[in-house]
Amino acid sequence: MAAPPAAPPPARAVDLIGRKRDGGELREDELAVLVGGYLDGSVGEGQMAAFLMAGVLRGFSDDEALALTRILEGSGEVLDLSALAGPTLDKHSTGGVGDATTLLVAPLCAAAGAQLVKLSGRGLGHTGGTLDKLESIPGLRVDLAEDELLRIAGEVGCVVGAQTDRLVPADKALYALRDVTGTVASRALIASSVMSKKLASGAGTIVLDVKAGDGAFLPTGAEAADLARLCVRIGIAAGRRCVALVTAMDQPLGRGIGNALEVAEAVRLLSAPPSGSRLAGVALDLAAHGVAVARHGDVRTVAAVRRELERRWGEGEALERLRAMVAAQGGDPRVCDDPAAVLPAAPVVLPAPAPRAGTVTALPARRVGELAAALGAGRARKGDAVDPAVGLDLAVEVGDAVEAGQPLAMVHARDRGAAERVAAELAALLRIGDGPGGAVPDLLDVIR
């Protein structure tokens, strides 16, 4: 009797790296050798860095992105949301400046009967982080155990917590390496990182906000739409309902840039019917698409859902859900009545006056975010402390007419010197031209 054929030898990391260097495509089991080996130490940091660089330079296929997402998701625990009664929903943004949409979208979706469980991150560089914003509310906790997440979601309809180390640990390890090796800028690696975390969070419907422009990771709408398509494809392949909105980030989305300032703006917006605010408009777009897809599996009912959400917002339902979420997470619910009495305040507040009269033609989001971070509102490295009270409260946006000396923003700072420096830089940064201003669209594309 003939002996069975010998099993092929296990793939060697060096051979897989060489094939990717030469433009080849790797199978899921081969990608698993590299990722699993990196986690257990059998694949060295230099080898994994070489593989990532080869992939960034030669490109990863969509099939490789799908496979890598499954590997990352499977590297840790997955939240089980099956005990929740309503349609489960999650929302993700690729990051921006003045982007407090989660503080509006989460309670708005809850008011409409969805149950939103969101695991968020902290701000880094010029972008803000939802956890930092929420932690500016005295007493509020974001480090929640799984049973707490499920209990609050079931009782309130929304909960926002910190991602635990048990979810997608492989992504955390790979991202740290990508960050120091210049291999962050890869469509496939970004998509697999984002979607592995969203899939592991367990929601049946995922709504994505993919930013484009000066303050975003991706500079053009076309690049953002390309990433959004891949993310949606990954979500649908995993059996989830998924929709992505491509939104503009050439100027800050909200007026508040800084943690307590952004919470205060969200409360102010939810305390009145939604009108005239770009932040409110994008939040309504995200919530309407998410709820429509969660309920019906498509976006044909978005217009009707948006009208319903506007009504619920105007009647105070979303604000009450935010109040309930804050209280359930240990925060002071009075923040929803009088933010100024509850939130930390900076000791120095100075105006940044307009140098001339005219029309605001540009307010570069990235640099505005960097100025707020320089005041202490953001962090340069993970682990840095943030000051919840400081930041910028913008008084204008692109298209607004201004007079010479009119405040462009109020600078909230720890000392007068810092406030004066940032006020001068902001006045020089903001571009003022002649002639009438025009409306700037915020919603650039919808990937269904």
Q: pLDDT for 105-148, tens place per residue? A: 999 999 999 999 999 887 766 777 899 999 999 999 999 999 99
Nearest C-alpha neighbor of 240 from the set 270, 197, 276 = 197
Domains and CATH numbers, the chain: 13-59 (1.20.970.10), 88-339 (3.40.1030.10), 345-433 (3.90.1170.30)
Question: Are 367 and 359 within 8 A, CB to CB?
Answer: no
Active site residue 296: no
Q: Mind listing the pLDDT tens digit for each residue in 194-215?
A: 999 999 999 999 999 999 999 9
Catalytic residue among 20, 92, 133, 323: 92
Active site residue 21: no
Catalytic residue among 70, 187, 197, 366: 197
Active site residue 193: yes
Question: Are 193 and 208 within 8 A, CB to CB?
Answer: no
Residues 6+ apart with CB under 8 A from 218: 94, 210, 211, 212, 224, 227
**Length of the chain counted residue by residue:** 448
Catalytic residue among 20, 91, 133, 178: 178
Catalytic residue among 75, 192, 193, 201: 193
pLDDT on residue 4: 61
Active site residue 382: no
Q: Mind listing the pLDDT tens digit for each residue in 328-359?
A: 999 999 999 999 999 999 999 999 999 999 99
Question: Are 156 and 325 within 8 A, CB to CB?
Answer: yes
Q: How far is CA 352 from CA 370, 391, 425, in A?
A: 16, 12, 9
pLDDT on residue 209: 97
Catalytic residue among 90, 132, 171, 387: 171
Q: How many CB atoms lie within 10 A of CB 315?
A: 12
Active site residue 332: no
User: Which positions of the chain have pLDDT values less than 50?
Assistant: none
